[in-house]
Structure 1
Amino acid sequence: MDRRKRGPGSTVVWKYIFAGCIIIYTALVFVYMSGSNRPFKEVKQAMEKKIDTEHMKDVSSQGLKRYYGLNGADYDGVMMYVSTSSMSAEEVLVVKAKNTEQARELEDAIEKRIEERKNVFEGYAPEQVKMLKEAQKSVRGTYVFLAISPDSNSYREAFTKAL
Protein backbone atom coordinates (compact mmCIF):
# COMPACT_ATOMS: atom_id res chain seq x y z
CA MET A 1 0.00 0.00 0.00
CA ASP A 2 1.32 3.45 -0.89
CA ARG A 3 1.95 5.43 2.25
CA ARG A 4 1.29 8.88 0.73
CA LYS A 5 -2.36 8.10 0.01
CA ARG A 6 -3.31 7.40 3.62
CA GLY A 7 -3.24 11.06 4.70
CA PRO A 8 -0.85 13.01 6.86
CA GLY A 9 1.68 11.04 8.82
CA SER A 10 1.86 11.01 12.57
CA THR A 11 4.83 13.40 12.55
CA VAL A 12 2.73 16.08 10.85
CA VAL A 13 -0.07 15.61 13.40
CA TRP A 14 2.43 15.85 16.27
CA LYS A 15 3.89 19.05 14.78
CA TYR A 16 0.43 20.66 14.83
CA ILE A 17 -0.23 19.48 18.38
CA PHE A 18 3.14 20.83 19.50
CA ALA A 19 2.54 24.17 17.74
CA GLY A 20 -0.88 24.43 19.41
CA CYS A 21 0.65 23.78 22.82
CA ILE A 22 3.24 26.51 22.25
CA ILE A 23 0.52 29.00 21.28
CA ILE A 24 -1.55 28.17 24.38
CA TYR A 25 1.52 28.39 26.63
CA THR A 26 2.51 31.76 25.16
CA ALA A 27 -1.00 33.12 25.65
CA LEU A 28 -1.02 31.99 29.29
CA VAL A 29 2.38 33.59 29.91
CA PHE A 30 1.16 36.90 28.47
CA VAL A 31 -1.99 36.82 30.59
CA TYR A 32 -0.09 35.92 33.76
CA MET A 33 2.74 38.40 33.26
CA SER A 34 0.57 41.27 32.12
CA GLY A 35 -0.05 44.07 34.50
CA SER A 36 -3.26 45.85 35.16
CA ASN A 37 -4.80 49.01 33.85
CA ARG A 38 -6.79 49.48 37.05
CA PRO A 39 -5.86 52.56 39.05
CA PHE A 40 -4.01 51.91 42.29
CA LYS A 41 -6.82 53.51 44.29
CA GLU A 42 -9.28 50.83 43.10
CA VAL A 43 -6.86 47.98 43.82
CA LYS A 44 -6.16 49.42 47.27
CA GLN A 45 -9.88 49.73 48.08
CA ALA A 46 -10.52 46.13 47.03
CA MET A 47 -7.63 44.90 49.17
CA GLU A 48 -8.59 46.94 52.23
CA LYS A 49 -11.99 45.23 52.29
CA LYS A 50 -10.19 41.92 52.95
CA ILE A 51 -7.57 43.06 55.47
CA ASP A 52 -8.10 42.36 59.17
CA THR A 53 -7.82 45.94 60.41
CA GLU A 54 -8.51 44.85 63.99
CA HIS A 55 -5.08 43.19 64.19
CA MET A 56 -3.25 45.16 61.51
CA LYS A 57 -2.50 48.85 61.11
CA ASP A 58 -1.95 50.96 57.99
CA VAL A 59 1.64 52.18 57.71
CA SER A 60 1.78 52.63 53.90
CA SER A 61 4.55 54.98 52.68
CA GLN A 62 6.12 55.45 56.11
CA GLY A 63 6.22 51.67 56.58
CA LEU A 64 7.86 51.17 53.20
CA LYS A 65 10.64 53.53 54.29
CA ARG A 66 10.92 52.07 57.80
CA TYR A 67 10.79 48.37 56.94
CA TYR A 68 12.23 48.29 53.42
CA GLY A 69 14.35 51.44 53.24
CA LEU A 70 12.42 52.58 50.15
CA ASN A 71 10.83 55.98 49.63
CA GLY A 72 7.08 55.61 49.09
CA ALA A 73 6.97 58.85 47.08
CA ASP A 74 9.04 57.13 44.37
CA TYR A 75 6.13 54.78 43.57
CA ASP A 76 2.73 55.28 41.96
CA GLY A 77 1.01 53.82 45.02
CA VAL A 78 1.80 52.09 48.31
CA MET A 79 -0.48 50.16 50.64
CA MET A 80 1.12 48.47 53.61
CA TYR A 81 -0.43 46.94 56.71
CA VAL A 82 1.57 45.39 59.54
CA SER A 83 0.54 43.61 62.70
CA THR A 84 -0.29 45.72 65.73
CA SER A 85 1.77 43.23 67.76
CA SER A 86 5.56 43.21 67.55
CA MET A 87 5.39 39.46 68.23
CA SER A 88 3.74 38.82 64.86
CA ALA A 89 5.29 38.83 61.39
CA GLU A 90 1.94 39.56 59.70
CA GLU A 91 2.22 42.01 56.84
CA VAL A 92 0.36 42.88 53.64
CA LEU A 93 2.02 45.01 50.98
CA VAL A 94 0.77 46.20 47.59
CA VAL A 95 2.90 48.61 45.57
CA LYS A 96 2.41 50.01 42.10
CA ALA A 97 5.87 50.68 40.72
CA LYS A 98 6.52 53.18 37.95
CA ASN A 99 8.31 50.60 35.79
CA THR A 100 9.40 46.96 35.75
CA GLU A 101 12.93 47.80 36.95
CA GLN A 102 11.48 49.41 40.06
CA ALA A 103 9.24 46.35 40.54
CA ARG A 104 12.33 44.09 40.41
CA GLU A 105 14.10 46.24 43.00
CA LEU A 106 11.06 45.92 45.24
CA GLU A 107 11.05 42.13 44.76
CA ASP A 108 14.67 42.02 45.95
CA ALA A 109 13.82 44.17 48.97
CA ILE A 110 10.93 41.82 49.82
CA GLU A 111 13.19 38.76 49.70
CA LYS A 112 15.73 40.52 51.93
CA ARG A 113 13.03 41.53 54.45
CA ILE A 114 11.60 38.01 54.61
CA GLU A 115 15.05 36.57 55.32
CA GLU A 116 15.73 39.20 57.99
CA ARG A 117 12.37 38.48 59.65
CA LYS A 118 13.05 34.73 59.60
CA ASN A 119 16.31 35.38 61.45
CA VAL A 120 14.51 37.53 64.03
CA PHE A 121 11.85 34.91 64.81
CA GLU A 122 14.02 31.79 64.31
CA GLY A 123 14.82 31.00 67.93
CA TYR A 124 11.55 31.67 69.70
CA ALA A 125 8.57 31.84 67.33
CA PRO A 126 8.50 28.85 64.96
CA GLU A 127 4.90 29.60 63.89
CA GLN A 128 6.03 33.04 62.66
CA VAL A 129 8.94 31.48 60.75
CA LYS A 130 6.50 29.04 59.13
CA MET A 131 4.25 31.94 58.13
CA LEU A 132 7.25 33.77 56.63
CA LYS A 133 8.24 30.67 54.66
CA GLU A 134 4.68 30.40 53.31
CA ALA A 135 4.45 34.09 52.36
CA GLN A 136 2.53 34.79 49.18
CA LYS A 137 4.32 36.99 46.64
CA SER A 138 3.20 38.10 43.21
CA VAL A 139 4.32 40.53 40.53
CA ARG A 140 1.80 41.47 37.86
CA GLY A 141 3.26 44.05 35.50
CA THR A 142 4.23 46.92 37.78
CA TYR A 143 2.08 45.75 40.71
CA VAL A 144 3.99 43.99 43.50
CA PHE A 145 2.19 42.04 46.22
CA LEU A 146 3.28 40.40 49.48
CA ALA A 147 1.19 38.76 52.18
CA ILE A 148 2.65 37.24 55.32
CA SER A 149 -0.37 36.00 57.19
CA PRO A 150 -2.38 32.91 58.07
CA ASP A 151 -4.81 34.36 55.47
CA SER A 152 -2.12 34.97 52.83
CA ASN A 153 -3.87 32.79 50.23
CA SER A 154 -7.12 34.75 50.51
CA TYR A 155 -5.17 38.02 50.34
CA ARG A 156 -3.44 36.85 47.17
CA GLU A 157 -6.77 35.84 45.67
CA ALA A 158 -8.18 39.28 46.51
CA PHE A 159 -5.14 40.91 44.90
CA THR A 160 -5.52 38.88 41.71
CA LYS A 161 -9.24 39.69 41.50
CA ALA A 162 -8.58 43.38 42.18
CA LEU A 163 -6.41 43.62 39.10
Structure 2
Amino acid sequence: TRWTAGMILTFIAFLCFFIPSLLQESPSRADFAAVNEATTAGLDMTAYPAADQSLIRSKLGLDPSRYQGVAFYRSLNAMDAEEMLVIQYDPSQKQEVVDKVNARIQSQKDIYKGYAPEQLETLNQAVVSVHPNYLLYVTGPQARQAESQFEEAL
Protein backbone atom coordinates (compact mmCIF):
# COMPACT_ATOMS: atom_id res chain seq x y z
CA THR A 1 0.00 0.00 0.00
CA ARG A 2 2.96 2.34 0.50
CA TRP A 3 3.88 1.84 -3.12
CA THR A 4 0.30 2.68 -4.22
CA ALA A 5 0.21 5.78 -2.01
CA GLY A 6 3.57 6.86 -3.44
CA MET A 7 2.31 6.41 -6.99
CA ILE A 8 -0.86 8.39 -6.23
CA LEU A 9 1.16 11.23 -4.70
CA THR A 10 3.53 11.22 -7.67
CA PHE A 11 0.58 11.33 -10.07
CA ILE A 12 -1.03 14.22 -8.15
CA ALA A 13 2.27 16.13 -8.14
CA PHE A 14 2.56 15.53 -11.88
CA LEU A 15 -0.95 16.92 -12.45
CA CYS A 16 -0.29 19.95 -10.25
CA PHE A 17 2.82 20.72 -12.27
CA PHE A 18 1.46 20.26 -15.80
CA ILE A 19 -2.23 21.23 -15.65
CA PRO A 20 -1.58 24.97 -15.22
CA SER A 21 0.53 25.02 -18.38
CA LEU A 22 -2.24 23.28 -20.30
CA LEU A 23 -4.83 25.81 -19.14
CA GLN A 24 -2.84 28.89 -20.12
CA GLU A 25 -4.32 31.09 -22.84
CA SER A 26 -2.44 30.77 -26.12
CA PRO A 27 -1.41 33.82 -28.17
CA SER A 28 -4.05 35.17 -30.53
CA ARG A 29 -3.47 34.75 -34.25
CA ALA A 30 -5.79 37.66 -35.05
CA ASP A 31 -4.43 40.35 -37.35
CA PHE A 32 -3.61 43.60 -35.54
CA ALA A 33 -5.48 45.83 -37.99
CA ALA A 34 -8.59 43.66 -37.64
CA VAL A 35 -8.40 43.68 -33.83
CA ASN A 36 -7.91 47.45 -33.74
CA GLU A 37 -10.78 48.02 -36.17
CA ALA A 38 -13.12 45.73 -34.25
CA THR A 39 -12.17 47.35 -30.92
CA THR A 40 -12.98 50.85 -32.15
CA ALA A 41 -16.03 49.92 -34.26
CA GLY A 42 -19.09 51.93 -33.28
CA LEU A 43 -17.22 54.02 -30.70
CA ASP A 44 -17.31 57.79 -30.81
CA MET A 45 -13.65 58.24 -31.69
CA THR A 46 -13.85 62.05 -31.53
CA ALA A 47 -12.83 61.61 -27.88
CA TYR A 48 -9.87 59.50 -28.99
CA PRO A 49 -7.94 61.05 -31.90
CA ALA A 50 -5.07 58.88 -33.14
CA ALA A 51 -1.66 59.72 -31.70
CA ASP A 52 1.59 59.66 -33.64
CA GLN A 53 4.67 57.61 -32.74
CA SER A 54 6.35 60.45 -30.85
CA LEU A 55 3.32 60.79 -28.57
CA ILE A 56 3.35 57.03 -27.95
CA ARG A 57 7.00 57.31 -26.91
CA SER A 58 6.51 60.36 -24.70
CA LYS A 59 3.23 59.38 -23.01
CA LEU A 60 3.69 55.63 -22.68
CA GLY A 61 7.43 55.12 -22.91
CA LEU A 62 6.90 52.53 -25.65
CA ASP A 63 8.89 52.43 -28.89
CA PRO A 64 6.29 51.47 -31.54
CA SER A 65 8.97 49.96 -33.80
CA ARG A 66 9.58 47.22 -31.21
CA TYR A 67 6.04 45.85 -31.36
CA GLN A 68 3.96 44.06 -33.98
CA GLY A 69 1.23 46.70 -33.84
CA VAL A 70 0.46 49.80 -31.77
CA ALA A 71 -2.51 52.16 -31.91
CA PHE A 72 -2.79 54.92 -29.32
CA TYR A 73 -5.67 57.35 -29.13
CA ARG A 74 -5.64 60.28 -26.72
CA SER A 75 -7.82 63.26 -26.06
CA LEU A 76 -6.31 66.52 -27.31
CA ASN A 77 -7.59 68.21 -24.16
CA ALA A 78 -4.91 67.95 -21.46
CA MET A 79 -7.64 68.20 -18.83
CA ASP A 80 -9.23 65.00 -20.12
CA ALA A 81 -7.98 61.54 -19.11
CA GLU A 82 -9.62 59.67 -22.02
CA GLU A 83 -7.18 57.49 -23.92
CA MET A 84 -6.97 54.09 -25.52
CA LEU A 85 -4.09 51.77 -26.41
CA VAL A 86 -4.32 48.62 -28.50
CA ILE A 87 -0.99 46.83 -28.76
CA GLN A 88 0.23 43.52 -30.15
CA TYR A 89 3.57 42.27 -28.86
CA ASP A 90 5.69 39.18 -28.67
CA PRO A 91 4.68 37.20 -25.56
CA SER A 92 8.18 37.80 -24.15
CA GLN A 93 7.38 41.56 -24.09
CA LYS A 94 4.14 41.17 -22.14
CA GLN A 95 5.45 42.19 -18.70
CA GLU A 96 7.28 45.19 -20.14
CA VAL A 97 4.07 46.44 -21.80
CA VAL A 98 1.97 45.82 -18.68
CA ASP A 99 4.51 47.72 -16.56
CA LYS A 100 4.50 50.71 -18.97
CA VAL A 101 0.70 50.84 -18.99
CA ASN A 102 0.50 50.63 -15.20
CA ALA A 103 3.13 53.40 -14.94
CA ARG A 104 1.05 55.54 -17.32
CA ILE A 105 -2.11 55.04 -15.28
CA GLN A 106 -0.28 55.91 -12.05
CA SER A 107 1.31 58.97 -13.64
CA GLN A 108 -2.08 60.17 -14.84
CA LYS A 109 -3.61 59.57 -11.41
CA ASP A 110 -0.83 61.60 -9.80
CA ILE A 111 -1.51 64.48 -12.20
CA TYR A 112 -5.29 64.53 -11.84
CA LYS A 113 -5.66 63.79 -8.12
CA GLY A 114 -4.82 67.35 -7.14
CA TYR A 115 -7.27 69.22 -9.33
CA ALA A 116 -9.58 67.01 -11.39
CA PRO A 117 -11.39 64.43 -9.23
CA GLU A 118 -13.75 63.43 -12.08
CA GLN A 119 -10.74 62.58 -14.26
CA LEU A 120 -9.19 60.65 -11.39
CA GLU A 121 -12.40 58.62 -11.17
CA THR A 122 -12.15 57.95 -14.92
CA LEU A 123 -8.66 56.57 -14.35
CA ASN A 124 -9.79 54.51 -11.39
CA GLN A 125 -12.23 52.78 -13.76
CA ALA A 126 -9.65 52.22 -16.50
CA VAL A 127 -9.88 48.93 -18.36
CA VAL A 128 -6.67 46.96 -18.85
CA SER A 129 -7.23 43.67 -20.66
CA VAL A 130 -4.04 41.60 -20.89
CA HIS A 131 -3.54 38.56 -23.11
CA PRO A 132 -0.42 36.60 -24.10
CA ASN A 133 0.28 38.86 -27.10
CA TYR A 134 -2.31 41.66 -26.97
CA LEU A 135 -3.25 44.37 -24.51
CA LEU A 136 -6.04 46.91 -24.40
CA TYR A 137 -5.90 49.93 -22.11
CA VAL A 138 -8.82 52.35 -22.26
CA THR A 139 -10.36 55.03 -20.09
CA GLY A 140 -13.64 56.86 -20.48
CA PRO A 141 -17.34 56.10 -20.79
CA GLN A 142 -16.85 53.74 -23.75
CA ALA A 143 -14.24 51.58 -22.00
CA ARG A 144 -16.48 48.55 -21.35
CA GLN A 145 -17.79 48.52 -24.92
CA ALA A 146 -14.23 48.73 -26.28
CA GLU A 147 -13.17 45.90 -23.96
CA SER A 148 -16.04 43.68 -25.08
CA GLN A 149 -15.27 44.28 -28.76
CA PHE A 150 -11.53 43.72 -28.14
CA GLU A 151 -12.14 40.40 -26.39
CA GLU A 152 -14.42 39.27 -29.19
CA ALA A 153 -11.88 40.22 -31.87
CA LEU A 154 -9.16 38.07 -30.31
Interval containing the TM-score (normalised by the shorter chain): 0.7 to 0.9
Question: What is the alpha-carbon distance in structure 2 between the residues aligned to residue 60 and residue 158 of structure 1?
Answer: 23
**AA paired with 2:128?**
K
Pair 1:154 & 2:150 matched: no
CA distance, structure 2, for counterparts of residue 151 and residue 122 of structure 1: 22
TM-score norm. by structure 1 comes to: 0.76
TM-score by length of 2: 0.80
Per the TM alignment, residue 27 of structure 1 is displaced from its structure 2 partner at its CA by 10
Instruction: State the alpha-carbon separation in 1 of the partners of residues 120 and 32 from structure 2.
Output: 30
Paired residue secondary structure (1:146): strand
Structure 1 unaligned regions, length at least 5:
1-21
CA–CA separation in structure 2 for the residues paired with 1:84 and 1:28: 44
Select the structure of larger CA radius of gyration: 1
The match for 1:119 is 110
Match of 1:92 among 69, 81, 84: 84
Bigger RCO of structures 1 and 2 (CA < 8 A, at least 6 apart): 2
Change (3 A) 1:28 1:151: farther
Aligned residues: 137
RMSD: 2.1
Separation in 1, partners of 2:113, 2:66: 33
Partner amino acid, structure 1, of 2:153: A
Q: Which runs of 5+ in 2 are unaligned?
A: 1-15
